[in-house]
């Protein structure tokens, strides 16, 4: 796998400048083309790490998720993309970090936890791959596990209208209106001894699923494409 130090990539002044420039370009194009409106930005922490968990219905969800904050966000990417050094540098500058495709889930989760412990926000799509339809699909416990282990809040995000912009399998990008709704942070509840109970991961996953469905419904309604 390509050797990329996620900490150095995150702290490089050059990479931060590149991120700002590229984010401005990509997000401006995506938001402008889809006339995206972002609701609930006040729920994004102004400092410290957090886990951003959006609904996932389209490839355009990634730049739309980045529209919720000007803070640098980190993403996972398959390690093969780093084989060409210039591309790898650009991806790292844009906040991505490599994970071996087909590797054990624990490797990817460990890398996610490391990024958060280094103090940077991270984006994870809790449904896994792109899905379709009005219902939130069963979530993996990975997002809740990462948040609990790193001690950070989860920020659920509903994205309405994006499936109409670029449906799964489509190569076309249609100018449909999108709305991004940012929910309130989800934090693990501590027990009487101030510790995180073993049931926290399952409980947070259940709450995340419910919050995502509510936010997704609201985003769809505001975008003019209500769930049926």
Q: What is the pLDDT of residues 201-219, one digit of tens each?
A: 999 999 999 999 999 999 9
Which pLDDT belongs to residue 11? 55
- 143: how many CB neighbours lie within 10 A of its CB? 27
Q: What is the mean pLDDT of residues 163-184?
A: 92
Which pLDDT belongs to residue 162? 96
Instruction: Kindly report, residue by residue over 63-115, the tens digit of the pLDDT.
Output: 999 999 999 999 887 777 788 887 777 777 777 878 776 555 777 888 899 99
97 forms bridges with which residues in the sheet?
A: 76
Q: What is the mean pLDDT of residues 19-25?
A: 87
Please report which confidence band the pLDDT of residue 23 belongs to, taking 50, 70 and 90 as the band edges.
confident
* pLDDT surpasses 90 at 37: yes
Which pLDDT belongs to residue 98? 80
Report the chain's mean pLDDT, rounded to a whole number. Answer: 86
Q: How far apart are CA 15 and CA 94, in angstroms?
A: 7
Closest to 54 measured CA to CA, from 34, 72, 73, 77: 73
Query: Helices 105-117 and 142-150 sit at what angle, rounded to 10 degrees?
Result: 40
Q: What is the mean pLDDT of residues 156-179?
A: 92
Contact between 57 and 180 under an 8 Å Cβ cutoff? The reply is: no
How much of the chain exceeds pLDDT 90, in percent? Answer: 57
Please report which confidence band the pLDDT of residue 9 belongs to, taking 50, 70 and 90 as the band edges.
very low
What pTM was estimated for this model as a whole? 0.87
* pLDDT surpasses 70 at 53: yes
* pLDDT surpasses 50 at 3: no
Which pLDDT belongs to residue 18? 78
* pLDDT surpasses 80 at 158: yes
């Amino acid at each position: 796998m390509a050797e990329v130090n996620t900490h150095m990539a995150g702290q490089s002044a050059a990479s931060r400048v590149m991120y700002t420039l590229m984010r401005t370009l990509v997000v401006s194009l995506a938001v402008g083309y889809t006339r995206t409106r972002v609701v609930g930005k006040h729920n994004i922490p102004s400092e410290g790490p957090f886990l951003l968990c959006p609904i996932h219905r389209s490839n355009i969800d990634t730049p739309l998720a980045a529209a919720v904050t000007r803070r640098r966000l980190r993403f996972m990417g398959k390690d093969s993309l780093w084989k060409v050094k210039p591309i790898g540098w650009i991806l790292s500058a844009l906040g991505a970090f490599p994970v071996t495709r087909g590797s054990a889930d624990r490797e990817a989760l460990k890398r996610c936890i490391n990024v958060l412990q280094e103090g940077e926000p991270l984006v994870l799509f809790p449904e896994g791959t792109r899905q379709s339809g009005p219902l939130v699909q069963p979530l993996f416990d990975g997002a809740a596990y990462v948040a609990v282990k790193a001690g950070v809040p989860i920020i659920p995000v509903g994205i309405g209208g994006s499936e109409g912009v670029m449906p799964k399998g489509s190569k076309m990008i249609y100018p449909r209106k999108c709305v991004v709704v940012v929910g309130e942070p989800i934090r693990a509840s501590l027990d009487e001894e101030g510790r995180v109970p073993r049931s926290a991961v399952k409980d947070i996953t259940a709450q995340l699923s419910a919050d995502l469905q509510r936010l997704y419904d609201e985003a769809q309604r505001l975008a003019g494409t209500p769930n049926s």
